[in-house]
Amino acid sequence: MDFPYAFWEQGADSWLRELDFFTTEAEPQLQSLADDSAIERARPWILDHFRRRSRPSSPIPRGVDISWYSSPPKLQMYDKEVLNVLLNVARRHLGTTFELYANYEAQGDSEPELCLAMAAVGALYLGAECGATLSKALYNDARRLQFQKFHSRTLQTSFWAASAALKTFILLSIYGICSGDKRSYEFVEAFHLSMLQALRYCGPLIPSDPDAATLRDVRSMSEAMELIECYHMLLLQRPPCAIPAPLRLLTPPGQNQAALDRPGTPHDLPGHAQGAHGGIAILSAFAWAASPQGEELSCQRQLWRSEFVELAMERWMGGKIFPLSESDFPSMLIYHLMHLRLKVNLDFLQKSARQFTNPPSHTASESSEHEILENY
């Protein structure tokens, strides 16, 4: 999957733009802030308001009541032909990495939040300013619809409802990582537990005698979750989360024994997705555990031996058929990112880059530069 390069184009206050309007019962007080002199007179009132809002357990007078909220989604504002074009764009870009969306088509009974979330990812590739505005509107509407349904407990009724919710969560995470919007980026971690909860809903609802299409859907969702966890560790630099077992495919009989009898022969990892990228994606958890963390330096020995992780990665590479095709590029990108994670202390480099970019003073900058080079 090729990622858009416009990263962090919006400021930290971009979330204010999605609020359509706010209501207040103290409108005359706000209208008095038209000139600069009125701001100083209003400062005590503003401080008192937020001081009282920060103490929800204390009784709050009803004299001032300001509430910020987002308007409900208006699905009739979207043109079906435009959405269909965006879905085709998203399917073309996501299909090589996420097989789950390679053959997705919106039908009459399709979940609207799933269609909007996928269209939001497709709008990221338009490259124009209008595309960023449209993708953000689609994303926000999809997110509101998703959590409205997620918290209504309607996902535990059928496998198709639970799987649609999981597919939507995956798309919302992809948007947060690729969009460049800071608030959406932070939502990836904030809603990560909700995505795992949706995954747990799917397990008990899998039909007892699934057909080929259901098995393919389950395998694709499992692989997609492995990839999202891989991005969560390699790009967001967060600890790995154990994927719940229900969607993982059972190990074929004798596979573990065969792997022990012939250690030099590449084998798929048992108990995980057997897709095009699932094998290398699950190794990212071991690469994170064996990589330098926090304030530690790259030269210090870790509890986990990185040599064993590199051996597993080379065994995976030994099973590839050369020359590589275009469908192998996403897994090769993960392969090289894992090597980078094993060899480089990214947390240390990020902290050092901030010190070089925003030095407190000239003398302090020289001393910090000397200290960083000495320690590294």
Catalogue the long-range contacts made by 67-71 (C-beta closer than 8 Å, 24 or more residues apart): 67/22, 67/23, 67/24, 68/19, 68/22, 69/19, 69/22, 69/23, 70/18, 70/19, 70/20, 70/140, 70/144, 71/20, 71/21
Q: Which two tokens stand for residue 107?
A: 């039908």
For residue 28, is it within any domain? yes
pLDDT digits (tens, 9 = 90+) for 248-294: 544 444 555 555 555 555 544 444 445 566 678 778 888 888 877 66
| Domain assignment of residue 345, yes or no | no
- The 8-class DSSP code of residue 110 comes to S
Please list the residues that pair with 67 across neighbouring strands: 23
DSSP string, 145-204: HHHHHHTTT-GGG-HHHHHHHHHHHHHHHHHHHHS--HHHHHHHHHTHHHHHHHHHHHHH
Report, as an integer, the average pLDDT of 26-35.
Answer: 44
Q: What is the pLDDT of residue 360?
A: 62
> What long-range pairs does 147-155 form, CB within 8 A, spacing at least 24?
147/194, 149/113, 150/194, 150/198, 155/198, 155/201
DSSP code, position 62: S
Among all chains, which residue has been given the structure tokens 């992780």? Answer: 309
Q: Is residue 281 part of a domain?
A: no
Q: What is the mean pLDDT of the chain?
A: 72
User: Is residue 139 situated within a structural domain?
Assistant: no
What is the predicted pLDDT for the residue at 148? 86
Q: What are 110-161's pLDDT values in tens digits?
A: 889 999 999 999 999 887 677 788 889 899 999 999 988 888 777 777 888 8
pLDDT in tens, 349-369: 777 777 777 766 555 545 555
Answer left, alpha or beta for residue 361, where phi above 0 means left and psi between -120 and 50 means alpha: beta
Assess if residue 56 is contained within a domain. Answer: yes
In a domain, 62, yes or no: yes
With 0-12 CB in 10 A as exposed, 13-18 as middle and 19+ as buried, what is 244?
Answer: middle
Average the pLDDT over 13-35 and give the result: 43
User: For residue 204, what pLDDT band results from cuts at 50, 70 and 90?
Assistant: confident
* Structural domains in the chain (count): 1
Q: What percent of the chain has pLDDT over 70?
A: 63
In this model, does residue 178 exceed pLDDT 60?
Answer: yes
Average pLDDT over residues 184-190: 89
Answer whether residue 171 shows pLDDT above 80. Answer: yes
96, 354, 356, 56: which is closest to 227 by C-alpha?
A: 96
> Collapsing DSSP states into helix, strand and coil, what is residue 256?
helix
Asked whether residue 216 is assigned to any structural domain, the reply reads no
pLDDT at 327: 73
Query: CA-to-CA distance for 242 and 43, rounded, in angstroms?
Result: 49
Dist. CA 139–CA 131, nearest whole Å: 12
Q: Can you give the residue range of the structural domain that contains 54?
A: 21-69
| Cα→Cα distances 282→71, 173, 309, Å | 40, 18, 11
Q: Across residues 15-24, what is the average pLDDT? A: 42
Tokens of 238: 């967060």
Under the banding of pLDDT at 50, 70 and 90, the label for residue 18 is very low
Q: Is residue 228 part of a domain?
A: no
Under 8 Å between Cβ of 320 and 328:
yes
Mean pLDDT computed over 173-177? 93
**Residue 166 binned pLDDT confidence (cut-offs 50, 70, 90):** very high
**pLDDT at residue 106, as a whole number:** 82
| Residues 337, 341: Cα–Cα separation, whole Å | 6
pLDDT band for 50, please (50, 70, 90 cuts): low
- Answer whether residue 227 shows pLDDT above 90: no
| Contact by Cβ (8 Å): 334, 284 | yes
**Amino acid at residue number 227:** L
Whole-angstrom Cα distance, residue 282 to residue 291?
A: 15
